[in-house]
Amino acid sequence: QVQLVESGGGVVQPGGSLRLSCAASGFTFSRYGIHWVRQAPGKGLEWVAVISYDGSTKYYADSVKGRFTISRDNSKNTLYLQMNSLRAEDTAVYYCAKDAGVAHIYYYFDYWGQGTLVTVSS
Amino acid sequence: QSVLTQPPSASGTPGQRVTISCSGSSSNIGSNYVYWYQQLPGTAPKLLVYRSNERPSGVPDRFSGSKSGTSASLAISGLRSEDEANYYCAAWDDSLSGPIFGGGTTLTVL
């Protein structure tokens, strides 16, 4: 069965950095785009970034552009999110989510991980 | 404030039919598919409806999606206590060049 397991969350000071990981299993990781979606405490969902199946294409939400970098290692079936210049408003549970399209990004998410909490606070 | 507008809450009694609305504009719902996600308390979201009215395998046919113009709806028939959750609509937005979500609707089964 499809499994996505995030890790790397924690408490970081404003202006600091953090790298999240998402380990995938149960499907051919190298054939699918993968997204990061976040949810601030008690709030709704916000799309953050996507990377294509081969890592050649990356798109970001305006709120994180220039600060966050999405990447993947298909040999390790793992997705990453490097977060720099963190702000209080980046505090959220970060989910990795599999795109439903094969070798094409459809921008909807058919499987989600359980999420990892990032808290930006001094 | 979300680009897609959902009522913050909805409720119904067991067995009832409940509808949750999602209002957008010509740049999102009006020209693209709508998706619905269910988030049970303390868990990750789950895809409930894709391409406006299709259900993934394993989703009961009690859940159905529809779209008309710049609005969409999720209908839940034969309401059950386990349907208590937050429901989010989503769509691609041509102006923002990215996927957007509604603010979510908390469904309570009385």
Residues in chain B: 110
Residue B3: which pLDDT band, with cuts at 50, 70 and 90?
confident
Digit-coded pLDDT (tens) for B38-73: 999 999 999 999 999 999 999 999 999 999 999 999
Mean pLDDT of all residues belonging to chain B: 96
Strand ranges in A8-121 using DSSP code E only, listed in sequence order: 10-12, 18-25, 32-39, 45-51, 58-60, 68-73, 78-83, 92-102, 109-112, 116-120
The 3-state DSSP class for residue B99 equals strand
Q: How far is the CA of A71 from the CAs of A77, A106, B29, in angstroms?
A: 11, 18, 30
Q: How confident is the prediction along chain A (122 residues), in pLDDT tens digits per residue?
A: 999 999 999 999 999 999 999 999 999 999 999 999 999 999 999 999 999 999 999 999 999 999 999 999 999 999 999 999 999 999 999 999 999 999 889 999 999 999 999 999 99
B29: region left, alpha or beta (phi > 0 left; psi from -120 to 50 alpha): alpha
For residue A115, list chain B residues with Cβ-Cβ distance below 8 A: 44
What's the token pair of residue A63? 């709120």
For B75-89, give one letter per residue: b (16+ CB within 10 A) or e.
ebeebeeebebbbbb
Which residue is closest to A49 within chain B, CA to CA? B98
pLDDT of B1 > 80? The answer is no
Rounded CA-CA distance A109/A112 in Å is: 7
Residue A96's pLDDT is 98
Instruction: Kindly state the percentage of chain B with pLDDT values over 90.
Output: 97
A97, amino acid identity: A
Residues 6+ apart with CB under 8 A from A122: A13, A14
Spatial contact of B54 and B74, defined as CB atoms under 8 Å apart: no
- Chain B environment of A37 (Cβ under 8 Å): 45
CA distance B56 to chain A (A): 8
Distance of CA A66 to the CA centre of its chain: 15
Give CA–CA dist B2/A107, Å, rounded. 18
- CB interface of B with A, residues 62-81, below 8 Å: none
Which pLDDT does position B2 carry in this prediction?
Answer: 78
